Amino acid sequence: MQSDTRIFVFRLRQLLTALAVAVILILAAILAVFQFIPSKKDVQTSPASAYTAGIYTSSITLGSQSVDIQVVVDKDRVKSASIVNLDESVAAMYPLLATSMDNISAQLAAGVSVEDISYSSSSRYTSQVLLGAVSQAINKAR
């Protein structure tokens, strides 16, 4: 029986190159694994409360009169929005003001966000002005 003994001859440069490539591939694989595993810092936690509870106001100017918009917020949601310091002359000049605010307040109390509030096309501009003021007051509560 004759056994065929095989002898492999490697150059030192080839061995070092293969070893370096293997180390680089292993490090790249480890880096890829850690890149796609979410860390505990990245996990979004919900805040304890979305708002600071209280009453917040914002002002709008209609003609030469200033009208205050009052927003009542709880720690989790907006409870109501209303118009305060409404002069009778302003109410007469802008008849859609009160009805638009009632519509906005009802939707806010139902949990609808400011961006998702719907309004009729007949009171579009009035509602947009009121929503801007409500939004400013809510931003104060955050």
Whole-angstrom distance, CA of residue 9 vs CA of residue 7: 6
Q: What is the DSSP letter of 50?
A: S
The predicted model gives 122-136 an average pLDDT of 93
Specify the higher pLDDT residue, 85 or 104.
104
pLDDT > 70 in the chain, percent = 92
Closest CA to 75 of 55, 51, 54: 51
Q: What single-letter amino acid sits at 115? A: E
List the single range of 3-7, 30-34, 87-91, 138-142 with lowest mean pLDDT.
Answer: 3-7
What integer pLDDT is reported at residue 25 of this predicted model?
Answer: 97
pTM above 0.75, yes or no: no
pLDDT by residue (tens digit) across 5-45?
Answer: 888 888 899 999 999 999 999 999 999 888 888 766 555 55
The answer for residues whose C-beta is within 8 angstroms of residue 74's C-beta and 6 or more apart is 51, 53
Q: Which CATH class is domain 54-141?
A: alpha beta
The predicted model gives 103-109 an average pLDDT of 93
Can you give the residue ranges of every domain in the chain?
A: 54-141
